[in-house]
Amino acid sequence: MDLKDQLKNLFPDHKVKESKDDIKNSYNQQDPVICKYEKRKGKPITIIEGFISIKEKDQKEIAKRLKTMLSVGGTVKGGKIIIQGDNRDRIMEELVKIGFKVKRVGG
């Protein structure tokens, strides 16, 4: 009997809250999310697009999580998440943790 089972026995009415680290993709995302790199006005940016059935509110939540993790700026415009800098590898790892399929485009 592990610790979780012991706690369930002690507190049978307790409901576990879902933390942000445990967020899983509950959307029907059939196509992968595209993560690409561009330069605008000489500065590198990472663009994440392909969110088909995800509300803008949820996109903003994902963007906030990525910006906080990377300590950079960014925004959500037109169904795309734009993050400052070339952070494709770390962004792709985080999106996979959340539960998205990710495809890297452009190098």
Q: Which residue has the tokens 């899983």?
A: 24
In a domain, 64, yes or no: yes
Q: In what order do the strands lie in the sheet containing 74-77?
A: 74-77, 80-84, 43-49, 33-40, 102-105
Can you give the residue range of the structural domain that contains 86?
20-105
Q: What is the CATH number of the domain that holds 76?
A: 3.30.780.10
In a domain, 94, yes or no: yes
pLDDT of 107 higher than 80: no
In a domain, 6, yes or no: no
Strand pairing partners for 81? 48, 76
pLDDT of 85 higher than 90: yes
Looking at 14-101, list the stretches that DSSP marks H as alpha helix, in order from N- to C-terminal side. Answer: 56-70, 88-98
Give the total number of structural domains in the chain. Answer: 1
Query: What predicted TM-score, i.e. pTM, was given to this entire model?
Result: 0.71
In a domain, 1, yes or no: no
Strand 43-49 versus strand 33-40 pairing type: antiparallel
Portion of the chain with pLDDT greater than 90, in percent: 44
pLDDT of residue 61: 92
